[in-house]
Amino acid sequence: MPDQKTIGFLFIEGFADWEYGLLAASAVEWFGARAVSLTPGRQPVTGISGFRLTPDRSADADENADLDAVAVIGSDQWAGKAPPDVAELLNAVAARDGVVGGICAGTLALARAGIFRKARHTSNGRDWINGHEAGYTGDLNYQDVPHAVADGKIVSAPGSAPGTFALAFLQTLYPEKGSELAQMRTLFAKEYAEAS
């Protein structure tokens, strides 16, 4: 596929298994994307479920010059005392007009990298993100909503919103695929409409 998009999924130890599945599978199955897993130092990591992930690549910017997008998946370690510094990778993707997304505590990596400087964004709550990254650049752009927020090529979401994160990320990466994305939204919304 000559126009195939490559999406990097950035994982660290203790990653939240529910936060990437819908996005990764939908991107590959419905949109023909190529999904690659990244970890700092190309080290294997274990998710909350205990599933072990052996990455395709490291999180080094030089190794990921082909990425059209990157999604930072949440983990409590992003909020820990010594989280990995992935600013170079995130800023490199943003500089080439790629999509940069973060969900749950993964939004802290975007905040630290200055990605929210001019972008409306969300996370696990205003107090939560400021409690971990007080006065980060762009904090006045915070949107206190329970769903994903996309602004330009920046996508963010609380950990409780993997569905809208997947949709907003894919809408940002594939703006020309509106009808397919509308079908995807309708398909997944049915679960919630009929469950209440």
**Whether residue 1 has pLDDT greater than 80:** no
What pTM, to 2 d.p., does this model score? 0.96
- What is d(CA 46, CA 4) in angstroms, rounded to the nearest whole number? 29
pLDDT at 196: 61
pLDDT at 195: 67
Which amino acid would we find at residue 5? K
Show the 3-state SS of 120-141.
CECCCCHHHHHHHCCCCCCHHH
- What is d(CA 138, CA 177) in angstroms, rounded to the nearest whole number? 30
- What is d(CA 92, CA 143) in angstroms, rounded to the nearest whole number? 25
Domains and CATH numbers, the chain: 6-195 (3.40.50.880)
**Whether residue 85 has pLDDT greater than 80:** yes
**DSSP strand pairing (6-10 vs 52-53):** unpaired
**Whether residue 2 has pLDDT greater than 60:** no
Q: What is the mean pLDDT of residues 160-181?
A: 96
- What is d(CA 51, CA 76) in angstroms, rounded to the nearest whole number? 16
Residues sharing a CB contact under 8 Å with residue 137, sequence separation 6 or more, in sequence order: 111, 114, 116, 117
**Tokens linked to 96:** 């080439």
**Listed residue (100, 77, 82, 57) closest to 16, CA to CA:** 77
- pLDDT band at 23, cuts 50/70/90? very high
